[in-house]
Amino acid sequence: MSGEKTLKEGVERPTVVARRLGQALLGLILALTLAPAIAHAGPIVDRIKADGVIRCGGVSRPGLVGQSPDGREALGLYLDLCRAIGAALLEPDGRVAFNPDDFDAAFDRIREGQDDLAFLDGSEIFDQRLAGRTILGPAVVFVSTAAMVEDPTVKGLADLAGKAICFYQGSSAHQDLEAWMAARRLDFTRMPYTEYGEMYDAYDDRKCDAEVGEIGDLAGARLSSDEKGRKSRILPEPLATFPVFAVTPASDPQWAAIVASAIFALERAELPSGPWAPGGGEQAAVDAADLGLPEDWSKRVLSAAGGYADIYARNLGDRSRLRLPRGPNAPAEAGGLFVTPFRE
């Protein structure tokens, strides 16, 4: 299933070591992709310009990509990012075609270079053997696994010791839960399920004291359980956190550089100007000529869907039904995990 939107339409783990590794990775990306050969347009750049369409993909997750409440259009953070990145190359009437990667065969588009941009986590990249066929770009969102409870006496994960916890058997949340508890020599009553619907029903029927999952899935389940009279909350302490990356085909380093630069501009747009650094979109720090883009490329990117703060708020944050705090999804200067390869 895919959906097309015009670019002018609206669609609806932090440590010093982590930051240094992130800066080194992102610096390497640009060092590799901003080579002299970039002056010549790559095949993906040419194709996007010729067709007027940017083709994106990603695994469906609440708030990241999914359907609107009426089922008529695709919405989510991935789509807004795709639309904004596409705006760097296309006029306002350019289009977005999004293909959910929700089954193994869907990843063939990425292997064959048919998708211009995909949003994937490390497990998806390695499980699908995509590492040698793609360029790993910046992180676009950090996803956490966590626990949801109703009991007001449960303040943190350690308070779940001895309690019944529902989980999807073999899921990443299940593995994170086992690892977290084992590291602290705590035990709990295991309530495994092999269907998500059955797990959610068991929680709503109070057969378990907590359920674990990805934070977006929990937020969606919270909406449903609240409608049934439960007042659930997601514990702020995560079981684990992992990044989802912007991934592009290995055939076009120029396109990889454009994607990375656009994402950096979006993520840093909310930072205010100071005596030693400019603020907002002026922090892009990459010349248009180096990317083969028009001079107003960063303005186009920020005008398409707003900065990252706006995109997050609209799809996952306080302006969405999920109402998830940003947590690590903010610039390092604001206490998050997003880093860029330049200092000013």
Buried b (16+ CB within 10 A) or exposed e, 258-279: bbbbbbbbbbbbbbeeeeebee
- Torsion sign across C-alpha atoms 33, 39, 40, 46: positive
3-state secondary structure of 274: strand
Task: Identify the structural domains of the chain with CATH numbers, from first to last.
Answer: 3-143+243-334 (3.40.190.10), 144-240 (3.40.190.10)
First-to-last C-alpha distance (Å) of the chain? 41
Closest CA to 116 of 102, 137, 132: 137
- Name the amino acid, one letter, at 81: L
Closest CA to 234 of 130, 299, 156: 156
Tens digit of pLDDT at every position of the chain (344 positions): 444 444 333 333 333 334 444 444 444 444 444 444 444 568 999 999 999 999 999 999 999 987 655 555 678 999 999 999 999 999 777 899 998 898 889 999 999 989 999 999 999 999 999 999 999 999 999 999 999 999 999 999 999 999 999 999 999 999 999 999 999 999 999 999 999 999 999 999 999 999 999 999 999 999 887 777 778 999 999 999 999 999 999 999 999 999 999 999 999 999 887 776 666 665 556 788 888 898 889 899 999 999 999 999 999 999 999 999 999 999 998 899 998 886 65
